[in-house]
Chains A and B, each alone.
Chain A
């Protein structure tokens, strides 16, 4: 049983990384978005393996469902296919490659040296909604409430910036 879970994990991780790479490398923005959906589904599967079922479902509903559909809509509306990629100078490309490479090496080196503590105990209830609710409304009550201010600012801002003013044309 242990081994089978490990195989599933390897498969999922490989698919996740491939899909994530495709998001960046795909020329067509629609392919990009679709592979992002695949990435989100794989991440949700990881959550299930980590015993966080509720998080997995929410991730699929919110990210793979709502936000990605919005992305697709926007891309289809804007018709980005005619968009020609702006060429960056070689110096900028070299700089980006060096910075990205160094960060990658640093993270890999750090992760290789880390000794992971064994989980204390296995509790099947860890990922249940009840447990999550208890933590959220008891320990993290203040940030939970103050996040509403964040959403409120974002909403007010989006409406204000997106509102059509007098004298502007319709799209």
Chain B
């Protein structure tokens, strides 16, 4: 609870820091704010509490998910050396402030106990993302991405709100507990109001749009490609973690009584997401676009855990979000460094060819990217392997054999496109000279790599906490 309050105040403080002449203070200040929020968050450990008339529930699950979101935000701020190359057209104070506010929204989505809180959280996070997508004002792709994201995102929010209204109409409650007890009673007597079913589907569609699951993924590639890379990294990690935290919470508590109804449609969507994400990713020529489709495919694996809805699903989702976030931040960090120094057709090069021979010019960056790709592909000794392992074992417990076969096949497809960039780095001849990166940037990237390998070798360290 304190972390939410403190982050919303820190955001305002950050805006005022923007008045200072020197912009150097902004990055350390934001890091400090996030660390303070992380400490305040971990103070809530083992405290079961409901705040403000059952609006927000703080328990260990909240602390875990919030911890992942805050650590990811920390790492992303760590690699945000300077926003854009020219000093005159950037507003770092505003960027950092909106980033902090969006983390507030993410925490609301994780801890909500009332659908109103869910809605406010989703909106804070989404509005912040619409703005950050369009921050590269002179780039027409960024403008296009922001407008597209805004229009489609507000439509999805409308559906979410419509769903909330119908669920309220059927159950007479906004609270998760109230909805859950209605659903249980009504399904026992076989008298579930049809409004609940329609409302539930609308609510799920709204949420699935935010985590970019198929068939609501059409915005993802364009928005991820158009947005500045640093914000793409933020979008594909923090938004996805918070979105799945909220989605699993609402599906497993409020609508647990009608599991048979939503599990079917979610299973179909999980298969669609896996197929579309992985197969389309294999056809991409741009690394950034491939990462967009790869993020769709990871939403598919996470959906698998939601469909399973066994007690171990929760910790599987937690572990997967953590490993996915670490690897994604590393991948986008290296992409940022590479595409800033290598130009193609007048803008940063984000094709696979940009990575040619990176192992000879910058062995460290190449190694970081290799580990991140191996983790995303789910190769043993990386965190991604255990993430997939826990998700698949949750699916085994729920007897989802056919879904599991598709998921395993699709992760084989994943290996193909993740290895393309590794091949480009190690086997292709080098073009251009080495890339110079700052110490803080390298340190953050090395940190993600170390964490990924550590979790790959000793998954129990974190798994015991979740």
Would you call B127 and A160 a contact (CB within 8 A)? no
Contact with B along A90-126 (1 / 0, CB 8 A): 0000000000000000110111011101000000000
Known contacts A142-B56, A150-B120, A153-B101; decide if A111 and B131 are in contact (CB<8 Å).
no
**Contact between B53 and A141, CB atoms less than 8 A apart:** yes
**B56 touching A149, Cβ below 8 Å:** no
A113 to B170, CA, bound (A): 12
Task: Find chain B residues with CB under 8 A from A140 CB.
Answer: 53, 55, 116
- Tell whether A166 is near chain B: CB-to-CB under 8 Å: yes
The closest CB in chain B to the CB of A157 belongs to: B131
Other-chain contact of B194, A114, A138, A146 (Cβ < 8 Å): A114
Residues of chain B lying within 8 A (CB to CB) of residue A150: 105, 120, 123-124, 127
Query: Within 8 Å of chain B (Cβ to Cβ): is A85?
Result: no
- Tell whether, in the assembled complex, residue B194 and residue A141 are in contact, meaning their CB atoms are under 8 Å apart: no
Q: How far, in angstroms, from A117 to B195 measured CA to CA in the complex?
A: 13
B374 contacts the other chain (CB 8 A): no
A115, A153, A158, A165, most chain B CB atoms within 10 A: A153
Kindly specify which of B24-32, B87-95, B246-254, B428-436 makes contact with the partner chain: B87-95
**Cβ contacts under 8 Å, A65 to chain B:** none
- B104: chain A residues at CB < 8 Å are 146, 149
Query: How far is the CB of A109 from the nearest CB of chain B, in Å?
Result: 7
When the two chains form their complex, are residues B124 and A153 in contact, meaning their CB atoms are under 8 A apart? yes
In the complex, A161 has a CB within 8 A of chain B: yes
Q: Mark B106-137, 1 if CB is under 8 A from A, else 0.
A: 00100000101100110110011011001101
**Residues on the A chain within 8 Å of B128, using CB:** 153, 157
In this assembly, does A152 line the interface, its C-beta being within 8 Å of a C-beta of chain B? Answer: yes
Known contacts A109-B194, A111-B195; A143 and B98 CB within 8 A of each other: no
Contact A146 B124 (CB under 8 A): yes
**A110-B131 in contact given A142-B56, A160-B94 (Cβ < 8 Å):** no
Q: Are B130 and A157 in contact (CB under 8 A)?
A: yes
The CA of A138 and the CA of B54, in the complex, are separated in Å by: 12
**Contact between chains at B98 and A142 (CB < 8 Å):** no
Residues of A within 8 A of B53 (CB): 138-142
Known: A156-B94, A165-B88. A143 touches B105 (CB 8 A): no
Instruction: Name the residue on B nearest A139 (C-beta).
Output: B53
Q: Which residues of B contact A114 (CB under 8 A)?
A: 169-170, 193-195
Chain A 50-76 per-residue mask, 1 if CB under 8 angstroms from chain B, else 0: 000000000000000000000000000
> Provided the pairs A142-B51, A143-B55, A146-B124 are in contact, do residues A106 and B198 lie with their beta carbons within 8 angstroms?
yes
B8 in contact (CB, < 8 A): yes
B15 within 8 A of A: yes
Task: Tell me, yes or no, whether B367 is within 8 Å of chain A by CB.
Answer: no
Query: Considering the chains assembled together, what is the distance between the CA atoms of A54 and B195 in angstroms?
Result: 28
A78 within 8 A of B: no
CB of A146 within 8 A of CB of B101, answer: no
Chain A residues within an 8 Å CB radius of B52? 141-142
A143–B91 CB distance below 8 A = no
B window 1-38: CB within 8 A of A: 4, 8, 11-12, 15
| B198 engages A149 (CB within 8 Å) | no
A residues near B12, Cβ cutoff 8 Å: 152
> Whose C-beta in chain A lies nearest to the C-beta of B114?
A143
Contact with B along A129-159 (1 / 0, CB 8 A): 0000000001111110011011011101110
Chain B residues near A161 (CB, 8 Å)?
131, 134-135, 137, 146
Task: Identify A142's interface contact among B88, B117, B170, CB under 8 A.
Answer: B117
What's the least CB distance linking A144 to chain B, in Å?
9
Closest chain B residue to A148 by CB distance? B8
Query: Contacts A107-B198, A156-B94, A166-B88: A143 and B127 contacting too (C-beta < 8 A)?
Result: no
Quote the shortest CB–CB distance from A159 to chain B (angstroms).
Answer: 8
Per-residue A-contact encoding for B71-110, CB less than 8 Å = 1, 0 else? 0000000000000000011010010011001101100100
Shortest distance from the beta carbon of A142 to any chain B beta carbon, whole Å: 4
Contacts A142-B56, A150-B127, A161-B131 given; does A156 touch B198 at CB 8 Å: no
B101 touches A152 (CB 8 A): yes
> Can you name the residue of chain A whose Cβ is closest to the Cβ of B121?
A146
Q: Name B178-220 residues within 8 Å CB distance of A.
A: 193-195, 197-198
New A-B contacts (14) at CB < 8 Å, excluding given A146-B120, A157-B94: A110-B198, A141-B52, A142-B51, A142-B55, A143-B117, A143-B120, A146-B121, A150-B120, A153-B127, A156-B15, A156-B98, A157-B128, A157-B130, A157-B131
- Across the A-B interface, give the 7 residue pairs with the lowest CB-CB distance, nearest first: A157-B131, A142-B52, A110-B194, A142-B55, A110-B198, A113-B194, A143-B116
A residues adjacent to B (C-beta < 8 A)? 106-107, 109-111, 113-115, 117, 138-143, 146-147, 149-150, 152-154, 156-158, 160-161, 165-167
Q: Can you show 26 pairs from A to B with CB atoms below 8 A apart?
A: A106-B198, A110-B166, A110-B195, A110-B198, A114-B193, A140-B53, A141-B52, A142-B51, A142-B52, A142-B53, A142-B56, A146-B8, A146-B104, A146-B108, A146-B117, A146-B120, A146-B121, A149-B104, A150-B105, A153-B102, A156-B15, A157-B127, A157-B128, A160-B94, A161-B134, A161-B137
